[in-house]
Structure 1
């Protein structure tokens, strides 16, 4: 039996190539590879999809976060509150600007705890970077109240949450600035690193368009030293095509999730049920259980690929040593690193594959 993959990019391309390849060829034949009309079209499409006034294409989700922090004036000596259970880039972008990442522990659902955020606010706090992990949106009602109370802006790290909703509003539209990744493994995926920023603020939008392109006001005049964070036309072509199919892809992922819920609900596993007002796009389907390592080995033995997102929390990474966090600093996050497991979830999974996965998980518990 072939291995059931968590993500199958080759299968995605096989299904798309008849329609997508001519678009790629057309882009290459145009000779416009940087700053083309294709970029402008994608930015309008993304803004419309996310329900914001503006979107700006970037070359990665990481650069999107860096640009957002820069827009808010984050600099050396400032503090930015974020979650310790994200991908390393969330904290790295804060450090790149000379600011200090200040972590707040998460809840049982892996999302940052608003009560912990408020405990970490000081006079140096410049922003709150909320991470919508695995396609789930954080408790934005509570977090926005904190933001308003202390007059601290919010950045949504929505790298894993394109298309997710919170009481009907999409990720990236719930704060001052939303940041997304279109890395190949994301639900809306390019064929290389890509990303975008969303905002309703016209000033932020205007400044972003300059910041991503060397700070140039025209071909020869630069007002400020900035970044090279542009998306290329080839990736924009691919994303414009795939954006049209994104809602269908999310619906298919939600169908996979509903089958997992149905077939695994009576096992000693914590399943990622949706919170009130939440519409999960299921970038990942993360379960929690005590015998995580044993189950992961058992599934791999039976040709089922799983993952752990993420086994080492950011505060215990070698890169974070200077922040002086220790084991025990964030007990819930640390506990979850030993219990979380990402099951296969993608729109190309068949019902027979899902049934097989669930069957093997049940067999594991029966044998134990």
Structure 2
């Protein structure tokens, strides 16, 4: 059963990491998550409360990377703590092997699975990131990754930093929801349909569908700096986490190889524009990204060899998008320096 994070449980599979490809079938994502929400009125039993919750994420995972970016852009570091797992996992769970003693320093857990089982002793599904965990009880609250970031924007507004961007502006929501739906179904998930295709036919269908969608967003971004206009929104966060992984992983590992990102001029410039914006590049860990995909997907890359490239220097080259007008934070301001202890290692990023 494939899940949002890539954690899998497959009957009859004997690999240590789990199986991702079902021979003869196209990839279908399991989208059933723990749908509890943390809200200002606490209607799900989880009220907004600074210091109560911990965001557990992996820099390797595109779905989790969204939450890392949004938390930083909104300045919620002092309100919601953050735990980072290692880039790889086994078939059971993501693990806290980056922390001293291999345990999360707040939750005391070795595995994120422990938070799921603390609330659901017979939890039957894959253990996914991002997950929000209640610190006092150690119980998972939600792993509904699309809703987590929207709630950070709307439900935690009282705790946003001064100058924080409005990532989900009410006046744009109808159009924005449609754009994000297209980005998710056709691009975010589209690369996985290519990579986990179990037949030539399903792969070629997924490939054509993915690049048709990339052409659509490229055309859109040819006339505006960001997906929704002159400032960044959550739509840009969602597209960025796929684009930044495209050349290191999806082009080769997932066979999304009509072109590299660096060969798609509009999308490459747009991606560099975001990468050079505080909150995006400074949360991007290329070493974790490559280790996750090439090590965990044993059925696609059985040797476990992690590519040395691509050269990352291009991410810091001028992009020219500022000539289109607009600014990433509009009337607001950029977030300050990355919180102490949350920095991406210098040798994992060209920003180092």
So what's the TM-score if we normalise by structure 2? 0.31
